[in-house]
Amino acid sequence: MLNGLARYEFSERLADILGESRRDLRFRVTLMVSGGLVAPGPRGRGSPPATPHYAAHLLIGAMAAPQQAQTVEAIRCYADLRPTAVAAGGNTPRVLFGPALAADDENPSESSISLDGLPFGEALAGLLELACAEETRAIVASEVFGVWINRGCPVASLQFSACWHGRRALVSHTYGLAPDAVPPAWLDPQRGGTVDPGLFHSVFLPVRKLIEIGLLTTLSDDRSRPMINKLGHKVAAIANMAKLAAKTPHGSRWEKLLSALTAVQAWSEQVDSQEKGRLLEVTGFGSNPGELRMYSYVPERLPANAPLVVVLHGCTQSAASYNKGSGWSTLADRYGFALLLPQQQWNNNPLRCFNWFKPEDNERDKGEPLSIRQMVDRMLHDHGLDRRQVYVTGTSSGGAMTTVMLATYPEVFAGGAVLAGVPYRTAKGLQEGLESIFQGRSRSAGEWGQLVRAASSHQGPWPKISVWHGDADTAVKPVNAEEIVKQWADVHGLDAQPTIQMTVDGHSRRAWQGPSGEELIESYTVLGMGHGAALDPGAGPHQCGTAAPFFNAVGISSTHRIADFWGLLADRPVRANAPAPAEPAAAGQGGHDARALDRGERGFKEHAARDTEPPRGSAAPGQRAAAGRPFGLDVHGIISASLEAAGLLKAGTTNRRPDSSAPLGIDVPGIISTALEAAGVLKGVAQRSASAYPEAALKTAGWEGAGWELLLEDPRAFRGGPMLYGHAASGDHGALGARAQSISRRIKLGPQPELSYVRRLDLSAGVNDYTSASFRVLIDGIVVDEVTAIGMVHQETEWLRQAAIDLKQFADRSVTLTLEVAACANIYSTVYAKAWVDQITIHNAVDLAHC
């Protein structure tokens, strides 16, 4: 047996999880036995195991039956509920986040968990089975939201997190009575049913408790696991690897890593479905002995003789998901270089890892290294790239394959970067590979260096290398980073001690310089970080990437700093003519299609120019609407402009408060502004600029509409000062149907506008499957951000920042910005939407009035 409790002990623990009486659960178990739902068995040590099927029945009895005596009938009725559509559209979303995109996909993204028309009881048992198994538990945690049962009507649903028309959503898989079925007796007036509103409410079980219950159930070693098997060959392969790993000395750590990789895989597959077309697949690049797939990314207007960066993903990741997480294509657009993204195939490795530990895949002119080399040659030929500026980087297994590429083809690469990787030839085979990542393998610097020198006939010069590792990494032991440094310091003929040691953004950096003073090796130790890549997500010039499993938002961007270490951030001239668009008939042709040329001729030159501008969130002269305090006056700007006009400050410094070029570098406007704030003068100005009446205050701030207020000095505000509050309700005072309240204001946008704001929402629509509450942000009537709750309550108890909402489609126009709350009820029960909004900022706005 695996895991598991006997039935008697399980009911005790289930009562604790549900917050019910232990005596109540014991009596329900007795009723299940006497009613013939489960076979009788002794209590104590001889009690039968609590299987997922048994647990699902007892859970349904506790959730669905209003009274103990109705337990058996509730189980029989609700367990047999069939998948059905109680609202238009079948499995409809219950909470939607973000604006609707162009709907070329009419269905939500496919979940890894397939219920295949199972009745509710079997589907619930299947989820408990997945939650019980180590190899699939992370999938349940990432895809399932919870279980919902209505006691007043034989309806239940399993709610999943999904992507719906390009938006994050909670999707309900709803279950109802079969056509020939009858409701339970307590709901059937013909059998003496009575209505008791105090008992007939809805019950919800969140996924956290579902997993906790699943962990208490028992799986048999010799029994087939139908739900696990339905997840396909990928998860089955992971399960087999978990069984194999259990026999090794590092079995527990390996199983923990496999569990984490299932979450990585789920996120990766979601990105693959959303990022179609971002990367271009190329075929026919050579003999491809490693049987890899080739993807590329080429900016719209690539400079002549541009560099090439080879990007290698980690286990269960894909080329697209690694690119989205790391942000390499963002830098390629900004600084004008091409990307090559090899992708492993599942039939090569059950975890889609690069096979860095296999002799046939870590030697020159063999297997996967030769395939990647052939891809490099194809990119150089197709796009006229600079052969002297080819670089390679990767994380985890991609990092290990990076050391393979640097060692086997050192003449090809000018530099590399290894994130959470291992030294070259640290292992021969899977068993040594596990030992290397979990405990590390120590050799002398000379031994390590000789392995690299023996990998090819190359005599130098050698690639420069950047090494990154989190000091809390439990998947790949951090000692591997030190061994990589030892290996390459010996190859370069450098001393073991670093030339430079410093702290960068709170993390340790060491560097080794060559005889000419050039840094040949750098090593970052990221404090407190686990396995994966270090990121600083955001829209700033030093930011890129997306936080996700194995992509850690720790305040430092490994992607940006690696590119800087290689020298890729310098400006390069743009080609006189943009590359010709790819011909659709040429299979495997590189580049992107002609649609890119229809986007206002914004090529690399504009990206480079953008990075010389102030960071997003600051504003150039004449664009100060983007930078100041919402609804207030930009006193600092006024003081700066006045001092410049008087000749006391050098012209052009108004928009660079931290780097003032005033005498001795003293920020005179800042000092004056701070002094005024400390004295309460600025606060008084803000108070005097707004009327004591909310309606008048809204008009003063440029807003017009109804149902919204401008709250002044409200203690709930994000950081003090005024904030907007909107409220809409339906179903009360005889008002049914859609009710909306909105406010709007006009604003003129620049060439690259972006919207950011902070909010708190209270959307109460948990009346039935037809009631809804929503909050929307619109530009000229087009939704740019939205949250909608359907048949549910959605509350944001903490302030949530929505940053860098792209408004490029409205660039260089005067537009109407609208905030809207709406509620819709179909019965006389109150449905409402409340929204608190603060710090609304339009970056790159032209007019001077703040939002």
What's 439-486 look like in SS3? HCCCCCHHHHHHHHHCCCCCCCCCCEEEEEEECCCCCCCCHHHHHHHH
Q: Are 525 and 481 in contact (CB under 8 A)?
A: yes
Q: Are 780 and 97 in contact (CB under 8 A)?
A: no
CB 372: neighbour CB atoms within 10 A?
A: 26
The two tokens of residue 493 are 């003929």
**Closest by CA position to 372, among listed 349, 403, 341, 346:** 341
The three-point CA angle 818-822-826 to 5° equals 160
Looking at 122-263, which runs of residues are DSSP E strands? 144-150, 155-164, 167-176, 202-206, 218-219
Length of the chain: 851
CA dihedral 214, 220, 221, 226 (to 10 degrees): -70
Q: Are 226 and 126 in contact (CB under 8 A)?
A: yes
Residue 695 has phi, psi (to 5 degrees) of -65, -45
Q: How far apart are the C-alpha atoms of 827 and 565, rounded to whole Å? A: 64
Which residue is associated with the tokens 């087939």?
A: 224
Q: How far, in Å, are 261, 277, 402, 456, 714 from residue 373 at the CA level?
A: 28, 24, 12, 14, 62
Q: Are 710 and 632 in contact (CB under 8 A)?
A: no
Q: Are 263 and 317 in contact (CB under 8 A)?
A: no
Do strands 2-3 and 519-526 pair parallel, antiparallel, or not at all (unpaired)? unpaired
Half-sphere exposure of 2 (CA within 13 A, CB side): 18
Q: How far apart are the C-alpha atoms of 416 and 424, rounded to whole Å? A: 13
H/E stretch holding 670 reads: helix 668-678
Q: How far apart are the C-alpha atoms of 742 and 833, rounded to whole Å? A: 12
**Closest by CA position to 261, among listed 155, 392, 166, 352:** 352
Burial 231-248 (b: 16+ CB within 10 A, else e): beebbbbbbebbeebeee
Q: How far, in Å, are 388, 399, 460, 656, 680 from residue 480 at the CA level?
A: 29, 11, 24, 43, 56
**Closest by CA position to 672, among listed 637, 707, 704:** 637
Q: Are 282 and 555 in contact (CB under 8 A)?
A: no
Do strands 82-83 and 155-164 pair parallel, antiparallel, or not at all (unpaired)? unpaired
Answer yes or no: 436 catalytic: no
Q: How far apart are the C-alpha atoms of 511 and 375, rounded to whole Å? A: 31
SS3 of residue 799 by DSSP: coil
Looking at 791-851, which runs of residues are DSSP E strands? 793-795, 800-806, 814-825, 831-845
- Write down the catalytic residue from 371, 396, 436, 466: 396
The three-point CA angle 672-675-679 to 5° equals 140
How far from the centroid of its chain's Cα atoms is residue 232's Cα? 24
Verify cis geometry, omega within 30 degrees of 0, for the bond prior to 461: yes
Quote the crossing angle between the two packed helices 52-64 and 71-79, to the nearest 10°: 110
The three-point CA angle 491-493-496 to 5° equals 100
Active-site positions read 396
